[in-house]
Amino acid sequence: MADFILEIGIEEMPARFVPRLGIDIKDIFSSLLAENMIDFDQVEAFATPRRLTVHVKDMAQKQRMVEEEVSGPPARIAYDANGNPTKALEGFAKSQGIELDAIYKVETDKGEYLAAKKTVGGGDTISILPALCADAIKKLSFPKKMKWGDLDFAFGRPLRWMLCLYGSDVVEFDMAGLLSGRMTYGHRVMGAGPWEVASADDYFSTIKDKCSVIISPVERGDFVRSEGDRLASDLNGSVVWKDYLLQEVSNLVELPVPIIGNFDNSFLELPKEVLLTSMESHQKCFGIQNGNGELLPHFLCTLNLVPTDVELVRKGWEKVLRARLEDARFFWKNDLKTDFDTWLDKLDNVVFLGPLGSMGDKSRRMERLAARIAAKVDSSLQTEMARAGRLAKADLVSEMVYEFDSLQGIMGGIYASKCGEEDVICKAIAEQYLPAGPETPVPSTLGGAIVSMADKADTLVGCFGLNKIPTGANDAYALRRAALGIVRMIIDYDLRIDIIELMEMAFKGYSTDIKWKLSKSEVIEKLGEFIASRLRAYFTGQGFDTRVVDAALGAGFRDVTALKSRVEALAEFAKADGFEQSVLTFKRAANIIKKQGSDEGVELTGGFEADRLVEPQEIKLAEKLDETADRFEELWSNGEFAKLFAILGELRPFVDDFFDNVMVICEDKGLRMNRLNLLKALVDRLSRLADFGALQV
């Protein structure tokens, strides 16, 4: 056993590439080692902007040896009429490297065939590694690849060196005009090298001590955070950490050196969000705040070297940030001189989406739709939500949002507050784009959720009406995210709103002059299918069994909050003893109704006549249905779905007895129809809870 190191040296890789590369190279190498039957203890991977490293601990010196059975030609063609081996038999033996007397016959589904035992593996690891390493590098994928020189080779960035060691031995292979060896290169300034690495055991000490590189992205991030916290505490403040930015910063450097920069106090007149955006988006810096959450006139930046003159470097960062903040202050002051009416007028000249009119048209639709949604969920908010919907998109034509588009909505809320709008309106405007993805939170206020739902529903209906429906991975208008956002807000706020009715209200808000590519009925139907698929993805993503989710969806999904409760209750019901038998029983009832209703050519109503029931078992089933009817309706109105599924447990013995002792499809048509309607009454009740046909057991 010996350790193995593969280091791929590259030109600076974009920070967004780095995390994925570390994960991919680890997975690829682990799979290739397993395929080649090379045992090992552990595979680690490390990525920086300039190097990608694989470390395999305790790699076996030889492949694992395995005996396997290999199949040959049919036995009928193995020997000629004289009993001599045919060319087919000789060729099989030669190709497998075995003697003729080691071949035997086996019986298969296709008849009698030749077979033999063959031992594979046992090769020297060091002779297998060159091809394995080359294969691993070729398997790496990138959002974009590039070529350099006259090489017929593409990679994320040009390769500059390759170090490959198994113990103290060099694993030689060539790629992109480079030959692997034992030389590595360090930090461009703090330890350029080249440095010779004697063995795999010496690699990490060489990288740390000579190359001046922190190879682990986790360690780089932890160092930036800990040093940043220390520096901020000296200022009686704390760093405004953003995990996504910390990861990006950690993947921009090989030797992180955090320092504090400063800016003029006068810039603190700008909103906190503007200051942070200027620091984070353009300078990859972090803000510093006091205990009250107010920004201090300082920022944390991360260098990629230990400077000889810290003050000179600090002034450079401060100079660049000052220019950004001067721009932001200019936009801020100009925007404060403009009123909302001016912006609303300008929205009429901003296109929303082709035939769907302008952003001004959208804001008027949002005004009406937000009020209608409020009427459904909290009528006391109707007036405020109408106002919030109308003002929601105004900041799109402000100078600040034109420069910092990530502040859309946020600036609208701030400007609305400056103009004296009510707090509920300001917060609703600020939160209208939430949730922006599965990992981002829903709005913190009901008003924000209402305006966000109005915005997303309007976009969904408009795009579907133009037949701009997502296909495969293509979702140019982020409609999946919009639908999922509506679902999450309904669930988080426990709203009892019909999601399909919401889409119908949104469609009604559009002008009758729009030339739709799909009719209203087609739009609503396709939106229903789309929303159902998003709900399925949402609940399965929450860990619920797919068949449970499908069964709950099959019973209806318009009331998303009730659907959530039904999914949870059905998931618990599925864990109970006898669940599978219950499913079979209830599916049998549903299948009979489905088949016999069409065979009889009549519509079953579920209205049976109790006095026409004959057998004791059908009488008892009817009595049990009547006995539980009021309780079922009360529990349904209260949304107590766990107790509703418990009622199904009560019903099942009566249904089983019915099937065991009653002939449903009897000769007497009147009796047959009455029994079918009795089952229909049962199935109607079941189908409100779940589509038992979707529960495959």
Q: What pTM was computed for the model?
A: 0.80
**C-alpha count within 13 angstroms, C-beta hemisphere, residue 524:** 15
Output phi, psi for 111, to 5 deg.
120, -165
CA distance 632 to 625: 10
Do residues 368 and 235 touch, judged by C-beta distance below 8 A?
no
Do residues 113 and 75 touch, judged by C-beta distance below 8 A?
yes
- Token pair for 537: 């993805």
* Region for residue 523 given its phi and psi (left: phi exceeds 0; alpha: psi -120 to 50; beta: otherwise): alpha
**Residue whose C-alpha is closest to residue 645's, from 530, 552, 554:** 552
* Cis omega (within 30 of 0) for bond into 194: yes
Local structure of residue 439 (DSSP, 8 states): T
Do residues 466 and 355 touch, judged by C-beta distance below 8 A?
yes
Output phi, psi for 42, to 5 deg.
-160, 145
DSSP-assigned letters across all residues of 391-458: HTTGGGGSHHHHH-GGGTTHHHHHHHHHTT--HHHHHHHHTTT---STTSPPPSSHHHHHHHHHHHHH
CA distance 499 to 56: 52
CA distance 551 to 418: 51
Per the prediction, the chain carries an average pLDDT of 91
Per-residue pLDDT, 601:
62
Burial class (CB in 10 A: 0-12, 13-18, 19+), 340: middle
CA distance 439 to 689: 31
pLDDT tens, 386-409? 999 999 999 999 999 999 999 999
Per-residue pLDDT, 84:
81
Under-70 pLDDT residues of the chain: 120, 597-602, 696-697
- Token pair for 49: 């902007």
pLDDT tens, 39-71? 899 999 999 999 999 999 999 988 877 777 777
- Token pair for 428: 């609703």
**Residue whose C-alpha is closest to residue 506's, from 483, 529, 489, 488:** 483
CA distance 97 to 314: 71
Helix intervals (H) in 560-640: 560-573, 579-600, 616-638
